[in-house]
Amino acid sequence: MGICASSGPDLSRPAVSTSFGRAQWPDPATVVLVRRRGPEDGLALAGPGRSRLAPARYGRQMSDVRSSLNPQQSAGPAWRDLAKSPPDWVVGHLNPDLDSLVAALVAAHLTGSQAARWETVEPLSEAVWARLGQAALPALPQEGTVGLVDCSLPQQPRTVLWAVDHHPQGQRLRPYPVYVEQVGATATIIARVRDRLTEADRRLLAAAIVADTMALTSNRTTDYDRLALSALVADWRELVAVVFPQDPGLSPEQWRAAGRKQVLGLPWASGGGFGPAPDVDAIAEGEAGPFAFSWIDIQAQTTTLALVLDHRVVRRLTYPAVLSRTRIGPEIREPMEETFGHPLRYESESKE
């Protein structure tokens, strides 16, 4: 990651200590990372009364970033400060994954609030949630104030006190404080309030980081995620088998719903684990298409993409890398457009 500002903490060298001390990990009130649709990440240094964004040479979208962030968002307040304003409920994004569930639960513990969900949980994450010994979160009631995690816009009209997110590409002007930090998981941000975490909180946060960064192999993984994981648990690798078991035990119907989003205007489901993809042909039988299913094999460091039409797989592609749906290049887009016979519209995954 390039350093895009002339003052403030030096992040050019990765943090190597497992301590959460200020010298090893800059205060989140000072550092906010903002990502654009380019290959580089920008650094926004912020403090009381000041906000500094990266120079334009790091990406033509800098003017878009500048216009989409208000001073309240780009300058903080930090998560530690937001936690001083407890809402009645803390909730994540629609069809929540493990990171969203864990961030909501631990943030609720830290703020003296209650954790909730919008609707049904993403199937893969629901299975992991149960293996972690957690009871299902209640549905969000109609009444009460809300704190948002892993998203910044409520799914229904609500009285929102604040939001904490690691998806800067979805940010717009909000009437409430939004803290955004470009890291691999919202759990990494929540973990900064380290002195108030229980052992159970630490294990949950570590599991969420493992899940959202694909065991630190995702191209969205940062040094902050690695540092947080090392500081939260003695050996995070024992959680890998919990988050990515050999056989998650999902039916084809559940696989079709796993990680499902609208990407490029298409329904797209995804999963990952230490091994090859599940039976994609069985998954395809329940989809008329167009539909995409991707699988990340963490051990082989490959991504398999299956394109479905008329209840069958019409094309399979394998890429020698762990690819994210939030960073779709021509190597994915062009075969998809060729297969489905029409241009696909670009849509960012803001989890709003």
pLDDT tens for each residue of 195-212: 889 999 999 999 999 999
Residues 67 and 192 in one domain: yes
Rounded CA-CA distance 88/293 in Å is 37
Residues 189 and 335 in one domain: no
pLDDT of residue 322: 72
> Which residue, 184, 219, 245, sits at the end of a domain?
245
User: What is the per-residue pLDDT across 260-301, written as a single tens digit (0 to 9) for each?
Assistant: 888 878 889 988 888 888 999 999 999 998 999 999 888 888
Average pLDDT of 15-27?
A: 30
User: What is the per-residue pLDDT across 217-261, written as a single tens digit (0 to 9) for each?
Assistant: 887 888 889 999 999 999 998 899 899 988 888 899 989 888 888
Residues 67 and 198 in one domain: yes
Residues 79 and 123 in one domain: yes
Domain encompassing residue 290 = 252-340
Q: How many CB atoms lie within 10 A of CB 200?
A: 14
Residues 67 and 193 in one domain: yes
Going by pLDDT thresholds of 50, 70 and 90, the confidence category of residue 193 is: confident
Does some domain include residue 38? yes
Residues 73 and 103 in one domain: yes
Residues 239 and 279 in one domain: no
Does some domain include residue 78? yes
Percent of the chain topping pLDDT 90: 33
Q: Is the pLDDT of residue 87 over 60?
A: yes
Residues 224 and 268 in one domain: no
Residues 144 and 23 in one domain: yes
Query: For residue 14, is the peptide bond before it cis, meaning its omega torsion is within 30 degrees of 0?
Result: no
Total domain count for the chain?
Answer: 2
Does some domain include residue 224? yes
Going by pLDDT thresholds of 50, 70 and 90, the confidence category of residue 50 is: very low
Residues 150 and 198 in one domain: yes
Does some domain include residue 318? yes
Residues 238 and 284 in one domain: no
The enclosing domain of 117 has a CATH number of 3.90.1640.10
pTM score of the predicted model: 0.73
pLDDT of residue 266: 85
> Which residue, 225, 245, 265, sits at the end of a domain?
245
Going by pLDDT thresholds of 50, 70 and 90, the confidence category of residue 20 is: very low
Residues 238 and 283 in one domain: no
> Which residue, 192, 220, 245, sits at the end of a domain?
245
Does some domain include residue 9? no
Q: Is the pLDDT of residue 95 over 50?
A: yes
